[in-house]
Amino acid sequence: MARYPRLMPTAPQLFTATVVRAERVSPTFQRVTIAGPELARFEWHGLDHWFRLFLPPGNAPLHLPKVSGRSWYRSYLLIPGSERPHCSNYTVAGFRHTGDGGELDIDVVLHWHEGELGGTVAAWAVNAEVGSPVGFLDQGVMFDPPEDAAEVVIACDETGLPGVRGILRDLDASTTGTALLEVPTAADAAEVAAPAGVSVTWLPRNDAHAVPGRLALAALERIAPQPDAYAFVVGESGLATGGRRALKKAGLSPSRITFSGFWKA
């Protein structure tokens, strides 16, 4: 398999930008585009490149932590509560250099609890005002197949979809394998660019009460990976940990599995 960069930066860069657009791209995803001159120096590595998003509370000014090497959290906690930005992890869904900087797309999952939109970032995404400030801290990519990986086995829920979409788009054209993409509704399943040898299966839940990740986990449990496959399993915590367990049971070495719980149901 082609080599992919392992790019958790040793000195992550902090950026500020403002919202320039927001649009609903499917029933579950709200795409927020941020832009600004500082994005001229952002180096997009494609794949599942992710970052820590900082949103100021209410109308407070954006107060960002000081970053020193990979340390930022202590400084973040020292920001007074009324000014401390909300922080969550998100993926670069798209990036373009522009004449005066750059534009970065964030595909935010909208999730509802008893009819109410849940989560600070989902609420921000649907109400995002043009010109409102955000910050983000580059965290690099997680997708890290060993050089000898014979195939990929990928599974995600909707929160992992922006990253998995990027991985499928950027995989070497000769890659083979399987991608299991669970989404809330069939209308969230859109065309993905992927190598011809990777079979892509959409798994729409179509049930507002179903626990996210269970469909993808059940499908993953039916897969028999080659011993030299590389697996990437991200999304709801039960999918990530259950997926790792199932793949280990199927004979895949833990060193060939990247798994990450993106949120907890």
CB of 139 to ligand FAD, least distance (A): 7
Residue 46 binds to ligand FAD (criterion: CB under 6 A): no
For residues 210 to 239, the per-residue mask of contacts with ligand FAD, x marking binding by CB under 6 A and - elsewhere, is --x---------------------------
Q: Site for ligand FAD (CB under 6 A): which residue of 4, 50, 230, 232?
A: 50
Helix (H) or strand (E) holding 257: strand 257-263
Positive/negative CA dihedral, 136, 78, 126, 118:
positive
Nearest by Cα to 4 from 124, 155, 168:
168
Q: Which stretch binds ligand FAD (CB under 6 A): 33-41, 115-123, 169-177, 185-193?
A: 115-123
Told to check if 263 binds ligand FAD by CB under 6 A, we report yes
We find the least distance from the C-beta atom of residue 167 to ligand FAD, in angstroms, to be 12
Which of 120, 127, 199, 206 forms a contact with ligand FAD (CB under 6 A)?
120
For position 121 contacting ligand FAD by CB under 6 A, the verdict is yes
- Residues near 208 by Cβ (< 8 Å), separated by ≥ 6? 112, 184
88 binds ligand FAD (CB under 6 A): yes
Nearest residue by C-beta to ligand FAD? 119
Neighbours of 204 (CB within 10 A): 15
What is the three-class DSSP state of 117? Answer: strand
Please say whether the beta carbons of 145 and 175 come within 8 A.
no
Q: Distance between CA atoms of 55 and 22, rounded to whole angstroms?
A: 15
For ligand FAD, give the closer residue by CB, 186 or 208.
208
Residue 140 identity (one-letter amino acid): G
Residue 51: helix, strand or coil by DSSP? strand
Binders of ligand FAD among residues 94 to 113 (CB under 6 A) are: 107-109, 111
Return the percent helix, strand and coil in the chain, to nearest 5: 20, 35, 45
Name the strand (E) or helix (H) holding 170.
helix 161-170
Tell me which of 119, 146, 197, 204 binds ligand FAD, using CB under 6 A. Answer: 119
Q: Judged by CB under 6 A, does residue 4 bind ligand FAD? A: no
- Asked if 52 interacts with ligand FAD (CB under 6 A), we say no
Is the Cβ of residue 12 or residue 162 nearer to ligand FAD in the bound state?
A: 162
Residues that bind ligand FAD (CB under 6 A): 50, 88-91, 107-109, 111, 118-122, 159, 162, 212, 260, 262-264
